[in-house]
Chains A and B, each alone.
Chain A
Amino acid sequence: MPPKTKVIKQRELNFLEKLYIPEVIRGVCITSGHFFKNLTLHSLHRIGLLRHIAAAVTIMYPEIKRRYPHRYRTRHRLTKRDDGTPRCVACMMCETVCPAKCIYIVAEENPDPNIEKQPKTFDIDLGKCIYCGFCVEACPEDAIRMDTQIMNIAGYTRESMYYTKDRLLNPEREGDIVKPSGSLR
C-alpha cells in the first residue's frame, strides 16, 4: 500500500498580518507580559507572598547545576571499603559484560587472605563507554556505581578520556560533584 500523503496548504496571511507593525506589537506584548508577570511573582515570592503560584525557572548552568534523578547513569566511580581501599576484587564481571569493551582490569594479590584479590589497575576508556550500566548490574561487590552526577565528560585528547583507578576512586577531586541546591529538586 502506498503511504497516504496529506497536502497541507500554507495559510494565507490576512490583511492585518500583512501590515507587519501590529504583529510586532503583539509579539512585544507577549514577551513583556511574561517578563512583568515573572518579575512581579519573583518579587512577591521574596517577601513571602503568592508562593503557591509558580514563576518561570531558569537554571544558571554552569554556575548552578541541576541534581539528576537517582537512577540516572552518570560517570562511574569505584566505591571504597572503610579503610579507603577499593571494594573491587577484580573478578572481571564488569570487564566481561561490557559491550563496548572499555574496561581494563589487571588483578593482583591482596595481602589479606580474606580479600585475596584486588585490582592492580582498573581503567575505563570513557571515550568508548556507552553508559549502559551493565558494569554496575554485574558487580557482585557493589564496587562500581554510576552515581557521581558528573555529566560533563570531555577532553582535548583521547588519553584524557582514559580514566584510571585513582580517578575512578576519587571523583570528588574533579570538583564537579553536584551539591543539592535549595529550591531545585
Chain B
Amino acid sequence: MPTLTVNGKEVTVEKGSTVIQAAEKLGFDIPRYCYHPGLSIAGNCRMCLVEIEKFPKLQIACHTQVQDGMVVKTESDVVKKTREHILEFLLVNHPLDCPVCDQAGECWLQNYYMKHGLYDSRLDEDKVKKSKAVSIGPTVMLDSERCILCSRCVRFTDEITKTSELGIFNRGDHSEIGIYPGRELNNKYSGNVVDICPVGALTDKDFRFKCRVWYLKASPSVCTGCSMGCNIEIHYQLERKHIAGGDRVMRFKPRENEEVNKWWICDEGRYGYPFIDKNRIHKPCRRVPDPVSKDGQKDMSPIPWDKALDMAAQKIKEIPKDAWAVLASPQMTNEELYLAKKVFGDTLGLAISLVSPNREGYSDDFLIKADKNPNTRGAFELGYNVLKTQLEEMVRKAEAGKIRGLYVFGQDLYEFLKPETAEKIFGPCELLIFQGTNWNPTAARASLVLPSAVFAEQDGTFTNFQRRVQRIFKALEPMGESKPGWEILAGLSERAGRKLSYKETHEIFDEIAAAVPVFQGLTYTKIGKKGAVLA
C-alpha cells in the first residue's frame, strides 16, 4: 500500500486509488466538477489540478494514481492561480442567469467562484448562445448555456442506467449536451442526472420554480416507496406558506449509502412525496348519518381524540374477540408493528395479521423492488405471518359473516380486493376502525377514523429486503391533530387497562431488541444514519 504526503500530512491508501481520494481521506477538499465517485473518470473539467513534486506540470487529482513517496500540494500558489483561471474558462460562456436558475444556492459554479474565483471578468466578446429551457424528458429540463460539459450525466446514462440517451454534440465552444434524435430521457432513474449535474444545466421539472433552495431544510430519512429502503433526504420548508399552496415537503434527494442505494434513487421514490401534504386526515372522525363534516369527507364528523379512543376501546370490548380482524400493514415502522402486536395480540387478545397488496409492481436488478412496502421484512422478523393465505382466510371468514369488527392500519382494502369482495367484508361488519394517514375509499367507509402521522413526521425504523434496519427521523410536526401510530396504540392500551410508559420510540426499539432475538444488541445509536444488518 503506497504512502504519500498531501500538504505535509502522510497518508497510506490502497494501491490504485487516486490523489483526490487520498486527499479526501485526509480531509482536503479538492474542487471538482467531472469527478463523481459513482461514475468512471473523465478528467475533462481540469478543476482538480494539483502540484505533484517531480512532475513537470500540474496533474489532475481525479485521474492520477498514487505512488509511494508522492508529495502532493493542493493549496500552493500556482494551484490556486490555476483554479482561478480554469474557473474563468468554464464561466466564459456561462449566461449568469442565476436569478432564474433553480440551481442557484446549490450551484458548484457559485460556490467555487466564491471560494476559488473572485476575479473580475475579462471577457469582451459576446457569449455563445445555445438553447435554453428545453424539455428533454418527462422529468428533466436542459439549459445548454449553463452547461460546463463535465459529462457526468452522459456517463450516468451510459454506465448506471445503460440507456445512453444523452451525448455531447458539436465541436469547440459550440459543444453541447443533448438527447439523441428520436429519444427522450425517460428511464426509471432519470432524476439522478439533476442531482449529479454540478450546475444548472439539468434541472428538475417537478421542482421547477417551486421554491428557492435556500429556503429548504433537510432531514435524513428512508424512502417508503419499496422494500429497497433507499436512503433519502427530505427537503422541506415551513416558513413560507404561499409556496406550492402551503405544502411542506418540496422534494426528496438521495442520501449516500454505499450498502443500499449508493448515490441514486429511482424516479418513483423521488416523486413519491405528495401524499405527505395532500389528502391527509386532519382530525379523528366518526361516521354520522348527517353530513356536517368540515374535512370534506361526507358523513364524517370530527371528534376529540379522547372521545375517539374511548369509543374505540369501548367497541373493542363489546364485540366478541373471535369476531375481530386486525389488519396491520407493512407500511408501518418496526416500532408500530411490535406495539400493534403487543396491544392487540397480548393485551386485547385479538388476532392480528399482516396484509399487503398481492399484485406486484415493477422491479429491476438495481434499486426498484417489486414489493412496494418499506417494512415487509421487518414484519416477518417481528413474527407476522405470510400475507396471502391470511387475507384469503379472512375473506372466507368475512363471507361467512363471522367478522363483526375490523381494525385497518392505513391500507386501502379496495386496492387489493375486488370491489364485491370488499363489500362482502364491509357489509356485515358492525364496526370498521381505520387508523391511517390519508383519505382513501376504505377510510371513507370507516365508522371511526384515527389520523396517524406519516413517516416524515415520526421517528422509527424500517427493515429493508436485505434485513438492514434503517432509521427514519422526525422532520415535520404531525399534520393537524394526527398522532404517531405508536401513541395511538399506547392510548388504546391504556384504555384497555394496561398503561404503557413510552415517551419516545427508542424505548420501544430497546424493548424490541430485548424481546426479539434477531434485533439483539441493536440500538438507535448503533443503527445511526447508515443502518445495521440484523443478526
Contacts and interface: CB of A to CB of B under 8 A. Distances in A.
Check if A and B associate.
yes
B212 interface: yes
A104 B242 contact: yes
Contacts, number: 44
B99 interface: yes
A90 B132 contact: no
A106 B212 CA distance: 11
Contact of A96 (B97, B131, B208, B214): B214
B99 A113 contact: no
Contacts of A108: 209
A117 interface: yes
A101 B99 CA distance: 19
Interface residues of A, number: 23
B535 interface: no
A116 interface: yes
A157 interface: no
B133 A113 contact: yes
Contacts of B214: 96
B212 A116 contact: no
Contact of B100 (A96, A105, A116): A116
Given A113-B132, A114-B132, A96 B99 contact: no
Interface in A121-140: 121, 123, 140
Contact of A106 (B97, B98, B104, B242): B242
B243 interface: yes
Interface string A94-123: 011000010011111100011111000101
B273 to A, nearest CB: 19
Given A106-B243, A113-B132, A116-B133, A140 B99 contact: yes
Considering residues B97, B100, B239, which has the most beta carbons from chain A within 10 angstroms of its beta carbon? B100
Contact of A117 (B131, B134, B209, B215): B209
Nearest to A88: B99
A109 B243 contact: no
Interface in A63-91: 89-91
A91 B132 contact: no
A93 interface: yes
A116 B203 CA distance: 13
Contacts of B208: 109
B200 to A, nearest CB: 11
Interface of A: 89-93, 95-96, 101, 104-109, 113-117, 121, 123, 140-141
A-B pairs with lowest CB-CB distance, top 9? A91-B99, A107-B209, A113-B133, A117-B100, A113-B132, A104-B242, A116-B100, A92-B212, A89-B100
Given A95-B240, A105-B242, A116-B97, 11 more contacts: A89-B99, A90-B209, A91-B104, A101-B239, A106-B242, A107-B209, A109-B209, A113-B134, A117-B99, A123-B242, A141-B99
Interface of B: 97-100, 104, 131-134, 208-210, 212, 214-215, 239-240, 242-243
